[in-house]
């Protein structure tokens, strides 16, 4: 925020929509001083900005800006900007999602029902734009895209955005003809799944050492904190979001398929389908994304480790869809190891707590007794079928 209390964000020239009515005003900073900024509107929204106009601006001005209040309009327009690599669009969308997550998680910012509502609305627009970018991606392509995006020092932001993207990819693989609304709901659930962590101090969330029992008990409250936050602050602006589902994803993403999770120890299809989906995305991101303090697994090692949790922690049928959708498997060296059954993707670890399996150990198979029960309401397509439509 500048000294006048106005927020503007810079927009790269090549990500400005041309030859259409632009849905945002363009500004320049006419002040030559670094300290005092003075923003002047140089092009009004709803006018058609031509290629030549933009070329003139590029010659004349160093940088263009858009007002914060039109951030969502800017983001929505990105899909109409052609010839832009997915990672650039992804980075912009990620930056915008982070700014909304930061409104929620940054303890220096005041929290209110309005802030929550506006942030969720912003997150939803970010997810809509992300769905447009990755709708034809499999999990491996999503993973590659994630690797090219810039990282934030606050792990929770990267993690939430990654989980959101994996949720979109996984739903797409389970249900190839899922509607955009369904994909957005899955992505929004993933983006907000750890919402309750806003009630936990950043120091504790980022603590690199093993947590004490009391600290872990507090961390384990985040699904309940998140649910309470949504209940206590009904979101007025995003009427079209199904908050019953979002709330269940937040509350149930640490429930285990076999009923050993938290907070309610519910099992199987009693856990909401999207919460089971989020649990897979959450686990995968926790062990494959570089956190400053733990080593990263190759995709193959991650899938192998996770397969030992299928049917226990994870829904085995959904996990099978997940693995079928991961194309680029690179052999690593961790496949003969496993993570303890109480491994929690939420608990920070210096080093992943590998252990050598007991000789009698048998890898849990994928065979759910009843597949339709396992995936809940959404009827899965046959895994063998490639794509519909």
How many other CB atoms are there within 10 angstroms of residue 27's CB atom?
A: 23
The smaller minimum CB distance to Fe ion, of residues 235 and 346, is found at 346
Closest contact distance (angstroms) between CB of 158 and Fe ion is 11
The smaller minimum CB distance to Fe ion, of residues 29 and 160, is found at 160
Alpha helix stretches (DSSP H) within 135-272: 139-148, 155-174, 180-192, 202-205, 213-219, 222-232, 243-252
Indicate whether 282 belongs to the interface with Fe ion (CB under 5 A): yes
CA-CA distances (angstroms) from residue 27 to 62, 210, 331? 11, 48, 51
How many helices and strands in the chain, by DSSP H and E? 15, 4
The smaller minimum CB distance to Fe ion, of residues 67 and 197, is found at 197
Binders in 317-336 for Fe ion, by CB under 5 A: none
Indicate whether 344 belongs to the interface with Fe ion (CB under 5 A): no
The smaller minimum CB distance to Fe ion, of residues 348 and 380, is found at 348
Cβ partners under 8 Å of residue 239, min gap 6: none
Cβ partners under 8 Å of residue 379, min gap 6: 175, 372
Closest contact distance (angstroms) between CB of 196 and Fe ion is 8
Indicate whether 301 belongs to the interface with Fe ion (CB under 5 A): no
The smaller minimum CB distance to Fe ion, of residues 25 and 282, is found at 282
The smaller minimum CB distance to Fe ion, of residues 346 and 368, is found at 346
Cβ partners under 8 Å of residue 220, min gap 6: 254, 262, 263, 344, 346
Closest contact distance (angstroms) between CB of 84 and Fe ion is 30
From the list 92, 50, 49, 102, the residue with the least C-alpha distance to 71 is 92
Strand locations in 32-188 (E)? 39-43, 64-67
Closest contact distance (angstroms) between CB of 252 and Fe ion is 10
The smaller minimum CB distance to Fe ion, of residues 17 and 101, is found at 101
8-11, strands of its sheet edge to edge? 8-11, 64-67, 26-29, 39-43
Closest contact distance (angstroms) between CB of 160 and Fe ion is 7
Closest contact distance (angstroms) between CB of 253 and Fe ion is 6
The smaller minimum CB distance to Fe ion, of residues 45 and 221, is found at 221
Please give the size of the binding site for Fe ion, defined by CB under 5 A. Answer: 3
From the list 132, 157, 5, 27, the residue with the least C-alpha distance to 75 is 132
Closest contact distance (angstroms) between CB of 45 and Fe ion is 37
Interface residue with Fe ion among 121, 128, 138, 194 (CB under 5 A) is 194
Identify the sign of the CA torsion 162, 167, 168, 174: positive
Report how far residue 48's alpha carbon sits from residue 45's, in angstroms, rounded to the nearest whole number: 8
Interface residue with Fe ion among 26, 171, 250, 346 (CB under 5 A) is 346
Closest contact distance (angstroms) between CB of 114 and Fe ion is 25
- Retrieve residue 294's tokens: 């733990």
| Interacting residues toward Fe ion by CB under 5 A | 194, 282, 346
């Amino acid at each position: 925020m500048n000294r006048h209390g106005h927020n503007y964000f810079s927009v790269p020239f090549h990500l400005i929509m041309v030859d259409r009515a632009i849905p945002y005003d363009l500004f320049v900073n006419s002040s030559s001083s670094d300290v005092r900024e003075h923003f002047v509107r140089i092009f009004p929204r709803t006018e058609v900005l031509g290629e030549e106009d933009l070329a003139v601006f590029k010659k004349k001005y160093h940088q263009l800006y858009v007002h914060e209040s039109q951030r969502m309009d800017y983001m929505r327009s990105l899909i109409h900007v052609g010839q832009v690599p997915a990672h650039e669009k992804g980075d912009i969308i990620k930056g915008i999602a982070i700014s909304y997550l930061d409104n929620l998680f940054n303890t220096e910012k005041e929290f209110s029902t309005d802030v929550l509502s506006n942030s969720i609305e912003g997150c939803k627009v970010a997810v809509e734009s992300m769905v447009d970018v990755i709708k034809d991606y499999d999990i491996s392509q999503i993973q590659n895209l994630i690797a090219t995006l810039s990282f934030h020092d606050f792990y929770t932001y990267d993690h939430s955005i990654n989980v959101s993207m994996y949720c979109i990819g996984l739903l797409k693989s389970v249900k190839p003809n899922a509607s955009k609304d369904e994909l957005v709901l899955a992505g929004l659930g993933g983006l907000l799944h750890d919402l309750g962590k806003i009630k936990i101090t950043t120091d504790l969330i980022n603590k690199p050492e093993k947590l004490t029992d009391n600290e872990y008990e507090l961390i384990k409250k985040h699904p309940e904190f998140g649910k309470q936050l949504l209940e206590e602050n009904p979101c007025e602006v995003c009427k079209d979001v199904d908050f019953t589902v979002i709330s269940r994803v937040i509350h149930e993403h640490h429930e285990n398929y076999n009923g050993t999770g938290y907070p309610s120890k519910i099992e199987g299809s009693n856990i909401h389908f999207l919460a089971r989906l989020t649990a897979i995305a959450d686990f995968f991101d926790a062990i494959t994304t570089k956190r400053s303090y733990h080593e990263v697994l190759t995709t193959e090692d991650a899938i192998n480790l996770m397969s030992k949790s299928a049917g226990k922690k994870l829904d085995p049928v959904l996990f099978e869809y997940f693995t079928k959708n991961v194309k680029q498997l690179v052999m690593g060296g961790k496949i003969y190891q496993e993570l303890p059954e109480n491994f929690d993707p939420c608990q920070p670890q210096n080093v992943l707590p590998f252990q050598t399996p007991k000789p009698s150990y048998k890898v849990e198979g994928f065979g759910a007794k009843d597949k339709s029960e396992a995936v809940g309401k959404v009827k899965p397509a046959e895994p063998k079928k490639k794509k519909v439509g």
